Amino acid sequence: MVPLGAEALGLARPATGGRYGSMGAVPTVARWWSSRTDPQRIDLYTRWSYYSTLVLLPPLLLLAVAADWAGPGRWVVLLLGAATLATTGACLWLTHRGFADRTARPDPTALTVAVVAGAVTVGAAVPATADGPSPALPWVVGLVSAAVLLGLSVTVPTRPLCAGAAAGGLLAGGLSLAEGNPPAAALVVGVSIAVTLVALATAFRFTVWILDVVQEMERTRGVQAQLAVAEERLRFARDLHDVMGRNLSAIAVKSQLAAELVRRGREGAVAELTDISRVAEESLREVRDVVRGYRGSDLPGELAGARSVLRAAGVEVTVTGEDDAVALPTAVQTALGWVVREAVTNVLRHSRARTCTIGLSTSGGGADLRVVNDGVTADGDRGAGLTGLAERLAATGGRLSARREGDRFVLTASVPVGVRV
């Protein structure tokens, strides 16, 4: 019989052979880490720096006391261990709550447990050490103070932390002096512990500050992205309004004219319907250009289109300055072309105009366009078109003025000739 291997039995081989077996867990951890964003990595690093440092408190206390261990009773050992674990747990809870809500104050219950358990830890360390002066007790005070300050440093500012470090150094120096050490030695011990606590607390506080800055930058990026999306939506809505407003108004006017010609049996209906088809096809092309974001506006073409549309609506039109329009830069023609388009839309939609005058002039390094029409309706509401048009001109350094003079409406736009868009 042919022996069956692992493949024949349906068993998968290890990812990497050899004496060390599979190393599949390492890529899994790497993928998990690489899937996190930079702010998330910094957050994880900061949190676990706190947690790992606080977890080291019990063994560090044991090492500090072990040098002067005096063979205490079992109850002292149990009390010291329980108090140390309680202090560590309370400080871990303070840290966890601080990272969960950076704006909240420290949990008073956890803080009380940490302080009381820390005091019991120091008290239990006294009978656990040898008789006479012991250098271990001041450092026990320093370790307990460091744990409490670390738990507070997530939410408490630097100055209160430095004050707490100074208080811890003072307690350690006082305990050293009470044990019979010389005042100079007690002073050195107290200052050393205070400086160590200040350095530790400010270092961890600095990491929290860095985390706050990174998270704020991430939130700022998110806000900027949302603003960019909102601005692009406004731009698209404005462009779509400016493109379709006049064309749809022209289609409506020409449709009414064609219907009237058909009812009266007069010639010209076919021409008007053909023109409607042309305007519709042009609108479709312009909408596609708006979607792609490449649409421009030719001022002479806009002036000619305005004359044709308004005359078809029965408005007597006078256009001046067409020769100056050809000589203007493309950017200026684009800006003023939008003004002509919006002005014609307003004449058709918001007035019963009989006459309309469109004048273009160039002087003093700028181009001025003035559109005046009569037959203004009572409400005089021009909708959102002029608002978007004013924003468009303001972006190019130009300005827009719109006012009503009796039954006449005057729209004036000025654009610097040297504008770039």
Mean pLDDT of 44-66: 84
Hey, which of 41-45, 79-83, 225-229, 277-281 has the most confident mean pLDDT?
A: 41-45
The answer on pLDDT for 117 being more than 70 is: yes
| Residue 370 DSSP code | E
Adjacency order of strands within the sheet including 355-363:
316-320, 355-363, 366-373, 408-416, 399-405
Structure confidence at residue 128 (pLDDT)? 62
Give the torsion sign (CA, 12, 15, 17, 20).
negative
Which homologous superfamily is 225-416 in?
Answer: Histidine kinase-like ATPase, C-terminal domain (3.30.565.10)
Share of the chain above pLDDT 90, in %: 16
- Asked whether residue 329 carries a pLDDT value surpassing 80, the answer given is yes
Query: Cβ(171)–Cβ(194) under 8 Å?
Result: no
What are the strands, taking DSSP E only, across 176-268? none
Residue 210 has pLDDT above 50, yes or no: yes
pLDDT digits (tens, 9 = 90+) for 133-142: 567 788 888 8
Return the pLDDT at 286: 75
- What is the band of 232 on the pLDDT scale with cuts at 50, 70, 90? low
pLDDT at 200: 92
Report the alpha-carbon distance of residue 297 to residue 415 in Å, rounded.
Answer: 15
The position carrying tokens 């649409």 is 295
What is the band of 23 on the pLDDT scale with cuts at 50, 70, 90?
very low
Q: How many CA atoms lie within 13 A of 348 on its CB side?
A: 26
- Which residues are paired to 361 by β-bridges? 368
Decide if 372 contacts 401 (C-beta within 8 A).
no
66 — pLDDT class (breaks 50, 70, 90): low
Give domain limits for the chain.
34-223, 225-416
What pTM, to 2 d.p., does this model score?
Answer: 0.53
Give the span between the Cα atoms of 371 and 319, in whole angstroms.
Answer: 9
pLDDT at residue 356 tops 50: yes
Query: Is 258:273 a contact under the CB 8 Å cutoff?
Result: yes
Tens of pLDDT, residue by residue over 334-351, are 888 888 888 888 888 888
Closest CA to 268 of 286, 281, 287, 254: 254
What is the C-alpha to C-alpha distance for residues 286 and 305, in angstroms, rounded to an integer? 14
Judged by average pLDDT, the poorest of 62-71, 152-161, 390-399 is: 62-71
The model's confidence at residue 26, banded by pLDDT at 50, 70 and 90, is low
Average pLDDT over residues 236-265: 77
Q: Is residue 414 over pLDDT 70? A: yes
pLDDT of residue 5: 42
Query: Using CA atoms in the order 177, 178, 179, 181, what is the torsion angle rounded to 10 degrees?
Result: 20
Nearest to 334 by CA among 371, 287, 308, 369: 369
| Calpha distance 409→381 (Å, rounded) | 11
Q: Is pLDDT of 421 > 50?
A: no
Which of 381, 373, 386 is closest to 413 using CA atoms? 386
Provide the pLDDT confidence category of residue 122 given band limits of 50, 70 and 90: confident
pLDDT at 296: 55
In the three-class reduction of DSSP (H, G, I as helix; E, B as strand; rest coil), residue 320 is classed as strand
pLDDT at 3: 43
